[in-house]
Amino acid sequence: MKSIKILVLFLALNLISNCKNTSNNSEATSSIITFTEKDGKFTTEQKELIQQVVLESEKEIRTLLPTLPDSIQVSLEIVDWNLDVVGGVTGRTETNSPPVVFIQISKNYPGGVAAATHKALKHTIFHEFHHLYRGWAIRDNKFGPGIPIAAINEGLAVVFSEEYTSAMEADSPPEDEIAEQWVTEIMALPKNADYQQWMFQHPDGRQSIGYRTGNYLIRKAMTRSRKSVLELSELSPDEIFQLAGH
């Protein structure tokens, strides 16, 4: 069994605590967990809770996505952002060596860091680890540019997380008629269309168009093809669009 390494990085104190094995399970888990204490300090209880959620999530994910990288760094920080619509937790993925999943937990979420961890950390870990498996990262992604590609890859991660953890209202698809209109809009966009505008905040007031449309497309492809999200995760964006009827 690969040993589980928990590396706790105290930036404020410039101290490092070495890794230790925390499980007798024979499943391979090798997350390196770091706590960046720049804008807020995690308590001992919060760290223990976070470590438990991350490591247990990773074990579960590896049974579903067995070709994940052997070693993954999960770097967590406390922020004062308003993340209520995503349960107080957000993240991003970078394919470094080892690859890094950056997680931000809002201290302003109702109930604080612990409440946000209980609500959405597992959901976010599943989402971001799917990106690693899929090869969809902030840098060095293997699919190229374009909102249609982003919608499919984010949609896969959203549905994967929803299927095995819980759903977030912010990622919920609109009604079918509206969703089809959004699909038409997205497919007509140039490759250099504004990512922030179409994936996060559109000038017309719509939010998370790419994520919500991606969720709709993946669900539609699953229904039409009778394939699971795991099976769809092996296909190209074009193949998934075709399975969804586009």
Residues 225 and 217: their CA atoms lie apart, in Å, by: 12
Question: Does any domain span residue 173?
Answer: yes
Give pLDDT, residue 29. 54
Does residue 140 form part of some domain? no
User: 130 and 184 share a domain?
Assistant: no
Residue 119 has a pLDDT of 96
- What is the average per-residue pLDDT within 144-160? 94
pLDDT higher than 80, residue 62: yes
Residue 84 lies in a domain: yes
- Structural domain includes residue 176: yes
Residue 24 has which token pair? 């007798």
Average pLDDT value over all residues in the chain: 87
What's the whole-number mean pLDDT along residues 187-213? 95
Number of Cβ within 10 Å of residue 144's Cβ equals 8
The verdict on 38 and 83 lying in the same domain is yes
Domain identity same for 79 and 14:
yes
Q: What is the pLDDT of residue 19?
A: 34
203 and 93 part of one domain = no
pLDDT at 12: 34
For residue 175, what pLDDT band results from cuts at 50, 70 and 90?
very high
User: What pLDDT is attached to residue 28?
Assistant: 52
Same-domain status, 53 and 124? yes
Domain boundary among 93, 112, 134: 134
Which has more pLDDT, 6 or 133? Answer: 133
CA distance 202 to 174: 15
pLDDT at 7 over 70: no
Mean pLDDT of 71-91: 94
What does residue 93 show for φ and ψ, rounded to 5 degrees?
A: -125, 135
Residue 18 forms part of a structural domain: yes
Same domain, 34 and 111: yes
b/e sequence 6-28, b meaning 16+ C-beta within 10 Å: bbbbeeeeeeeeebeeeeeeeee
Do 157 and 188 have their domain in common? yes
Which among 104, 134, 164 is the end of a domain?
134
**pTM of the predicted model as reported, rounded to 2 decimal places:** 0.85
Provide mean pLDDT across the span 103-127.
97
Same domain, 113 and 192: no
Is 23 in the same domain as 112? yes
Specify whether 78 is located in the same domain as 171: no
The answer as to whether 141 is a domain residue is: no
Residue 79 sits in the same domain as residue 119? yes
Q: Has residue 222 been placed in a domain? A: yes
What domain range includes position 206?
A: 147-243
Residue 3 in domain: no
